[in-house]
């Protein structure tokens, strides 16, 4: 049987809840459900997931149920699902990765071993995430995958959760020349932005669909999120990137302290004139001298009824370092951020330590905290990559 159409997704991060918000967690599930609905509507042959299925290696019940429901829907509609594992799916503690449960139950097929898996005449080879110290081993495995692909007729698909240096100089771990050239389509995950390129000497295109919904490490700004619909019926793979319609709007604004009230008023009018089904998430940077936190909080309170969250950053022009205030104004929280900023010398690092790492460590989630630090460095979040 000739299988010709697939949907390629990655970095769904099921269970991720920015700001510990149920609404933001639901956004992740909404995005995932939109892809499932599209797969059923378009009657594709398969969905290929290139890793980071869950946000935590030990996901809670809700993300597990959401994944199970999605796979059940796809299976009932004759759509196969294939997946590999990203770093968020793999615990540092020895054990069976959570997504593997769905492979054992027959709801999806795990392709992370480097061994060919067949869907009709479509051959799929995938690999789990390899860390930087293991890249030489991965390159040898990729050579072997290329040899296996040469011996097969029909279309061939390679699934990887790695960064390519051609797309991201800090998060890149491989180059295009490390990839076997025999594959018709290269389904990548790991980078959270959308990339698509056909390299000279390679049979098919390399595609990153990006994350389905912005994770906390991506910051707050305008995003376009989506997936790839890939038609393999012709001589060459034809990938079309499809933008999601369920995404929550995210906006960043820069305001001057002296005209802060006027600026907030303009933001409010803009949002009220263009309402959306989901309240937006806002980031506001306020620049000025001797910024009064109480006055800033009072001004931004006008935005509270029309946004889900508003994250302010204060840029004190009279100081060498910026100061950051939490989106929920509280003296203790502000003091913690201020102390962390003085110790670390960076407002971004301070916010990362207090707002993201500390809650995980307080909850005993050291494994997740280590994964978060690793991800931050791999994605060069603070302008520094791992050695």
Q: What is the pLDDT along the chain (387 residues), one digit of tens a residue?
A: 566 899 999 999 999 999 999 999 999 999 999 999 999 999 999 999 999 999 999 999 999 999 999 999 999 999 999 999 999 999 766 678 999 999 999 999 999 999 999 999 999 999 999 988 899 999 999 999 999 999 888 999 999 999 999 999 888 899 999 999 999 999 999 999 999 999 999 999 999 999 999 999 898 999 999 999 999 999 999 999 999 999 999 999 999 999 999 999 999 999 999 999 999 999 999 999 999 999 999 999 999 999 999 999 998 875 444 554 444 443 444 556 667 777 777 777 777 777 667 756 654 556 667 767 777 766 666 655 444
Burial class (CB in 10 A: 0-12, 13-18, 19+), 137: exposed
pLDDT, tens only, 26-62: 999 999 999 999 999 999 999 999 999 999 999 999 9
The closest of 255, 331, 251 to 293, measured between CA atoms, is 331
Q: CB of 45 within 8 A of CB of 80?
A: yes
Per-residue pLDDT tens over the stretch 241-283 = 999 999 999 999 999 999 999 999 999 999 999 999 999 999 9
Residues 6+ apart with CB under 8 A from 163: 171, 172, 173, 174, 190, 191, 378
Rounded to 5°, angle at Cα 354 from 348 and 356:
85
Query: Could you give the CA distance from residue 212 to residue 32 in angstroms, rounded to a whole number?
Result: 7
Interatomic CA distance for residues 232 and 11, integer angstroms: 23
Q: CA 356, CA 373: separation in Å to the nearest integer?
A: 10
The model carries a pTM of 0.82
């Amino acid at each position: 049987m000739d299988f010709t159409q697939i949907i390629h997704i990655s970095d769904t991060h099921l269970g991720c809840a920015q700001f510990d918000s149920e609404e933001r967690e639901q956004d992740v599930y909404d995005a995932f459900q939109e892809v499932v609905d599209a797969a059923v509507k378009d009657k594709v042959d398969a969905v290929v997931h290139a890793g980071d299925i869950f946000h935590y290696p030990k996901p809670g019940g809700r993300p597990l149920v959401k994944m199970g429901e999605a796979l059940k829907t796809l299976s009932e509609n004759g759509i196969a699902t294939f997946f590999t594992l990203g770093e968020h799916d793999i615990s540092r503690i020895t054990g069976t990765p959570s997504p593997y449960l769905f492979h054992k139950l027959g709801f999806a097929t795990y392709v992370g071993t480097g061994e060919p898996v067949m869907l009709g005449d479509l051959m799929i080879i995938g690999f789990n995430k390899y860390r930087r110290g293991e890249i030489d081993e991965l390159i040898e495995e990729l050579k072997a995958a290329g040899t296996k692909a040469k011996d097969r007729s029909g279309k061939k698909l390679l699934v990887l959760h790695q960064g390519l240096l051609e797309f991201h100089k800090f998060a890149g771990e491989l180059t295009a020349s490390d990839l076997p050239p025999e594959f018709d389509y290269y389904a990548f995950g790991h980078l959270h932005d959308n990339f698509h390129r056909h390299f000279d000497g390679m049979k098919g295109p390399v595609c990153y669909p990006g994350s389905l919904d912005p994770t906390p490490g991506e910051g707050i700004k305008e995003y376009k999120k989506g997936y790839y619909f890939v038609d393999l019926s012709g001589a060459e793979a034809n990938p079309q990137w499809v933008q999601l319609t369920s995404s929550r709007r995210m906006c960043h604004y820069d305001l001057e302290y002296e005209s802060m009230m006027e600026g907030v008023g303009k933001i409010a009018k803009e949002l009220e004139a263009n309402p959306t089904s989901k309240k937006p998430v806002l980031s506001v940077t306020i620049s000025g001298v001797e910024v009064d936190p109480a006055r800033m909080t009072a001004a931004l309170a006008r935005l509270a009824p029309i946004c889900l969250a508003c994250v302010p950053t204060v840029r004190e022009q009279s100081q060498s370092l910026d100061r950051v205030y939490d989106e929920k104004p509280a003296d203790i929280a502000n003091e913690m951020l201020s102390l962390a900023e003085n110790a670390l010398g960076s407002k971004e690092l301070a916010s990362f330590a207090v707002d993201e790492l500390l809650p995980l460590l307080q909850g005993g989630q050291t494994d997740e905290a280590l994964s978060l630090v690793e991800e931050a460095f791999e994605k060069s979040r603070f302008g520094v990559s791992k050695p």
